[in-house]
Amino acid sequence: MIRPIYLYGSEVLRERAAEADLTRKEELTDLIGDLKDTLKRSEGCGLAAPQIGVGLRVLIVDGDEMAEVYPYLKDFRRTMINPVVLEESGEQCEYEEGCLSVPGVYCSVRRPASVTIRYTDGDFVERTETFDKFAARMIQHEMSHLDGVLFTDLVAPIRRKMIARKLQNISGGKVSARYATKIK
């Protein structure tokens, strides 16, 4: 089911998401289906449960939207339940990020170049993987949502001042998006 995406200014985006109960497989499978349907409709590359109003530590990423720019992302998809960063590289890299919850705003953000994540996948199998390049970026961006952090929190203070009016407009409902949105 396609759900509205909660926008900047919504409380659920600022709360730390709770651990998902892995024994509730049917509910989690439904949630993952909703995340996938909503992401496909919005044409983004990642979505975390808080972005659709659910305060659980669940996220999905789909690299197909970025495969034209980063060919190695073709067919790169992950579903992560209760992801945990086990290790991150000391090397940092900077990419421009955007977010379905902050439409029309793009900023350069520094994050670790690679990360090792332990998570439970959509088939309820525990996995540990190391990601780099833009795959690492997508996953870290979505994991930030699970901790109530938006990419706009991670930009340089001067840049934050430059986008303050746009953020104020989004939180006030003065925004246009090609997908269903909600502020709460």
Active-site residue set:
142
Q: How far apart are CA 18 and CA 27, in angstroms?
A: 15
**Phi, psi torsion values for 116, nearest 5 degrees:** -110, 125
Buried/exposed 79-115: b ≥16 CB within 10 Å, e otherwise: bbbbbeeeebeeeebeeebebbbbbebebebebbbbb
Q: How far apart are CA 51 and CA 69, in angstroms?
A: 25
